[in-house]
């Protein structure tokens, strides 16, 4: 089921500041395609949880509309929306078994929606099968690992065959290895069920790796939406460019003069059609090509071998934090004793931003 947000806004009275308001979600207008997995991404406090709570109906918007398919659900109570929700802390009932936890949403169905005991059990087994926990049905949550508890929470969210699945930082309580494994599983389950899924995270790698599209937010503001690779390759703002990518983008103060990008006294790239102006320059670590006499010159700090790739760390006076990280393949010979390194730049990996606004 597709989800449409129209001018969705949520304001809260600011905590501890009488009469002031916080806009947690500001004028969100976008569409989530049917059957897709969307990663809602941004730093802590940017409004991700609020956006999710608006979708499931735990919060009412201050302004705007939400549609599931063609149905306006803005004023519909949560239990009628057909959403499955998975919280960060799983929120399993500790005194119930896994089976009882998964059955719980079905037992609370009312009227026409009520199911027979057999049908409920069949649905519970099916949901358990999707996350492969059939063998754990008689255990209590405390007898499960974090990853297993997470799967139970997902099975419980799926058991009513929801229109929409919402996941709020579902991996943050898992250790690094389990996090990787579980995010693959979430992707797999989503592909099998094809349920429209919104996945909230502050971890850009997590969002990039499994989402069909990511939505990047900052301070309640919608910054950009698109396929992960598209947004990475074509960030609309310095904020998005800095937020996506590990290792992060290198940022410089630069100047465009006569269609040439200058970093200090180095003419590093020709930039056709760009008017003369001061700019902030973002260069992805993979945008540097070691080139003898290349126009980008920096003093070599150190070389870090990472297996397939090598990081060359250098210092450049125009860099935001002085240090520059470039990534090249391990086959490229680097003279570690040289005092300086020279690079040419891949134009597609260099972004120019307005010095004041940070916009492209
Ligand atoms: P995130 O999930 O990205 O960390 P939240 O949606 O939790 O962000 O919060 C967004 C902003 O709204 C924050 O400034 C937060 O303090 C504020 N906020 C969230 N919920 C409430 C509330 N119930 N009352 C007041 N302010 C809130």
Q: Is the CB of 53 under 6 A from ligand 1?
A: no
How far apart CA 107 and CA 24 sit, in angstroms, is 35
Å from CA of 34 to ligand 1 middle = 28
Query: Do 78 and 140 have their domain in common?
Result: yes
Q: Is the CB of 226 under 6 A from ligand 1?
A: no
Query: Do 60 and 178 have their domain in common?
Result: yes
- Domain termination residue (choose one: 172, 205, 238): 238
Å from CA of 295 to ligand 1 middle = 46
Q: Does residue 130 lie in a domain region?
A: yes
134, with CB counted inside 10 A (0-12, 13-18, 19+), is: middle
Query: Do 62 and 180 have their domain in common?
Result: yes
- Domain termination residue (choose one: 193, 214, 238): 238
User: Is the peptide bond preceding residue 247 cis, with omega within 30 degrees of 0?
Assistant: yes
Query: Do 207 and 257 have their domain in common?
Result: no
Q: Is the CB of 15 under 6 A from ligand 1?
A: yes
Q: Is the CB of 87 under 6 A from ligand 1?
A: no
Residue having the nearest C-alpha atom to atom 6 of ligand 1:
47
Mutate to test the pocket of ligand 1, among 50, 216, 220 (most ligand atoms within 8 A of CB): 50
Q: Does residue 14 lie in a domain region?
A: yes
Q: Is the CB of 24 under 6 A from ligand 1?
A: yes
Distance of CA 81 to the CA centre of its chain: 24
Q: Is the CB of 215 under 6 A from ligand 1?
A: no
Q: Does residue 78 lie in a domain region?
A: yes
Q: Is the CB of 319 under 6 A from ligand 1?
A: no
Q: Does residue 9 lie in a domain region?
A: yes
Q: Does residue 243 lie in a domain region?
A: no
Q: Is the CB of 17 under 6 A from ligand 1?
A: no
Output the pLDDT for position 172.
81
Q: Does residue 125 lie in a domain region?
A: yes
Query: Do 274 and 211 have their domain in common?
Result: no
Nearby residues of 133 by Cβ (< 8 Å), 6 or more positions away: 98, 148, 151, 152, 155
Minimum-distance ligand 1 atom for the alpha carbon of 49: 2
Å from CA of 17 to ligand 1 middle = 14
Q: Does residue 340 lie in a domain region?
A: yes
Query: Do 142 and 199 have their domain in common?
Result: yes
Å from CA of 55 to ligand 1 middle = 15
pTM of the model: 0.91
Q: Is the CB of 44 under 6 A from ligand 1?
A: yes
User: Quick one: tokens of 2?
Assistant: 């597709």
Mutate to test the pocket of ligand 1, among 8, 9, 11, 12 (most ligand atoms within 8 A of CB): 12
Element (H, E) at 18: none
Å from CA of 52 to ligand 1 middle = 11
Residue having the nearest C-alpha atom to atom 22 of ligand 1:
12
Residue having the nearest C-alpha atom to atom 14 of ligand 1:
45
Task: Give the DSSP letter string of 243-307.
Answer: HS-SSPPEEEEEEEETTEEEETTEEEEE-TTPPSEEEEEEE-GGGEEE-TT-SEEEEEEEEEE-S
Query: Do 349 and 316 have their domain in common?
Result: yes
- Tell me the H-state helices in the chain: 48-56, 78-81, 98-107, 117-130, 146-158, 176-193, 204-210, 228-233, 238-243
Look up the CATH number of the domain holding residue 126.
3.40.50.300
Q: For residue 347, give the DSSP letter.
A: G
Query: Do 223 and 346 have their domain in common?
Result: no
Q: Is the CB of 43 under 6 A from ligand 1?
A: no
- Domain termination residue (choose one: 206, 238, 270): 238
Tell me if ipTM is over 0.95. yes
Instruction: Please report where in the chains the tokens 């947000």 appear, as a residue.
Output: 5
Domain extent at residue 308: 250-354
Q: Is the CB of 22 under 6 A from ligand 1?
A: yes
Query: Do 134 and 185 have their domain in common?
Result: yes
Output the pLDDT for position 17.
84
Q: Does residue 245 lie in a domain region?
A: no
Number of domains in the chain: 2
β-sheet bridge partners, residue 300: 314
Beta carbons of 131 and 186 less than 8 angstroms apart? no
Could you list the pLDDT tens digit for every one of the 360 residues in the chain? Answer: 999 999 999 999 988 888 899 999 999 999 999 999 999 999 999 999 999 999 999 999 999 999 999 999 999 999 889 999 998 877 899 999 999 999 998 988 777 778 889 999 999 999 999 888 999 999 999 999 888 898 899 999 999 889 999 999 888 877 888 888 888 888 998 998 899 999 999 999 999 999 999 999 999 999 999 999 999 999 999 999 999 999 999 999 999 999 999 999 999 999 999 999 999 999 999 999 999 999 999 999 999 988 889 999 999 999 998 899 999 988 888 888 888 999 999 999 999 999 999 999
Query: Do 225 and 348 have their domain in common?
Result: no
Query: Do 39 and 179 have their domain in common?
Result: yes
Query: Do 74 and 102 have their domain in common?
Result: yes
């Amino acid at each position: 089921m597709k989800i449409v947000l129209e001018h969705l806004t949520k304001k809260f009275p600011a905590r501890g500041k009488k009469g002031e308001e916080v806009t947690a979600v500001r004028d969100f207008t976008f569409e989530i395609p049917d059957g897709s997995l969307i990663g809602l991404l941004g730093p802590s406090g940017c409004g991700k949880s609020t956006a999710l709570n608006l979708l499931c109906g735990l919060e009412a918007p201050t302004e705007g509309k939400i549609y599931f398919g063609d149905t306006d659900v803005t004023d519909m109570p949560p239990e009628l929306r057909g959403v499955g929700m998975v919280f960060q802390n799983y929120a399993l009932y500790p005194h119930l078994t896994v089976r009882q936890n998964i059955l719980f949403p079905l037992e609370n169905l009312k009227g026409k929606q009520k199911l027979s005991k057999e049908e409920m059990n069949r649905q519970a087994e099916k949901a358990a099968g999707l996350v492969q926990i059939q063998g754990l049905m008689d255990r209590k949550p405390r007898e499960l690992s974090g990853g297993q508890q997470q799967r139970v929470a997902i099975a419980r969210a799926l058991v009513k065959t929801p229109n929409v699945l919402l996941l709020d930082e579902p991996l943050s309580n898992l250790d690094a290895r389990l996090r990787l494994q579980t995010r693959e599983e979430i992707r797999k389950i989503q592909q099998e069920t094809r349920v429209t899924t919104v996945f909230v995270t502050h971890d850009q790698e997590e969002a990039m790796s499994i989402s069909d599209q990511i939505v990047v937010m900052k301070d309640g503001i919608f910054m950009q939406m698109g396929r992960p690779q598209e947004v990475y390759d074509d960030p609309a703002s310095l904020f998005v460019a800095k937020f996506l990518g590990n290792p992060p983008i290198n940022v410089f103060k630069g100047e465009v003069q006569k269609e040439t990008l200058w970093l200090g006294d180095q003419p590093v790239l020709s930039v056709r059609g760009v008017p003369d102006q001061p700019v902030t320059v973002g260069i992805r670590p993979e945008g540097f090509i070691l080139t003898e006499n290349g126009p980008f010159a920096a003093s070599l700090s150190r070389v870090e071998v990472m297996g397939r790739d090598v990081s060359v760390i250098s210092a450049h006076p125009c860099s935001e934090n002085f240090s520059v990280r470039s990534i090249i393949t391990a086959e490229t010979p680097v003279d570690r004793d040289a005092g300086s390194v020279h690079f040419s730049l891949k134009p597609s990996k260099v972004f120019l931003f307005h010095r004041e606004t940070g916009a492209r």
